Amino acid sequence: MKRLANWLHRHWGVLLLLTLVAVGLVLATWHARDLTVLLEKGEQIADRPAAMVAVVVLMIVLFAFALPGSLGLWLIAPFHPPVVSVAMLLVGSVLGALGAHTVSHRLGKRWSPGASAERLVEFLSHRSDLLTQSALRVLPGFPHSFVNYAGGVLGLPRGTFLLAALLGLTVKWGVYATAVHGAVEAIETGDALQPQTVLPLFVLAALLLLGGLVRKRIERRRDSD
């Protein structure tokens, strides 16, 4: 019994990390199967500070290991004002980006991305300035896991990398959190056509369209090379 206690004391950090990853995989499966279940769970934990801290920590772990940390949006944004939601989402996603940058930098050449990620790595190898990285964070169509791991593999400077993540994700989470929270409030009150509800949805649609166009341009540029 004493040996077990000593072993647990020495390896508690690894066990905690493995537990968080396992929970993250379960939540990721839920996200793929039924978003309604996730929203119900979010409503149950919305008023529990410890639970919300756990959600943010879970986001960090998920993003660090290229798992869908963005599912935290659905556990946070529908139940909190946009300003509060953005703050929590930024902590989870920016620290997760730092973790992913560290992990992928150690993996280096051993990371085997798909075709889309390879195109992004090649693009960032030529253009990795602050504005470009920030734009990739804002535009939908460029998964954060790809951007995070590309930054680590290429060894992009952490200062610029994290500042771009902070700037870009502030805009992106601001639009997403406002749209989601507004839609939930509209459903509850029946005011679905109020400007404050519709405008974020139009902004989100414009970002989706622009993100698709930029992604296609990057793909065409790589194919032509």
Q: Residues 147, 138: contact at Cβ < 8 Å?
A: no
| pLDDT number for residue 94 | 96
pLDDT of 219 > 50? The answer is yes
pLDDT at 216: 65
Higher pLDDT, 110 or 53: 53
Distance CA 96, CA 145 (A): 9
For the chain, the three-class secondary structure string (H helix, E strand, C coil) is CHHHHHHHHHHHHHHHHHHHHHHHHHHHHHHHHCHHHHHHHHHHHCCCHHHHHHHHHHHHHHHHCCCCHHHHHHHHHHHCCHHHHHHHHHHHHHHHHHHHHHHHHHHHHHCCCCHHHHHHHHHHHHCCCHHHHHHHHHCCCCCHHHHHHHHHHHCCCHHHHHHHHHHHHHHHHHHHHHHHHHHHHHHHHCCCCCHHHHHHHHHHHHHHHHHHHHHHHHHHHHHHC
Quote the pLDDT of residue 9: 46
Q: What is the pLDDT of residues 197-206, one digit of tens each?
A: 556 656 666 6
Give the per-residue pLDDT at 116. 64
Residue pLDDT, tens place only, 177-190: 888 887 777 666 65
**Tell me, what's the pLDDT at 203?**
67
Q: What is the pLDDT of residue 17?
A: 47
CA–CA separation, 174 and 132 (whole Å)? 19
Domain range list for the chain? 2-224
Q: What is the mean pLDDT of residues 97-106?
A: 90
pLDDT digits (tens, 9 = 90+) for 2-34: 454 454 445 444 444 455 445 445 545 544 455
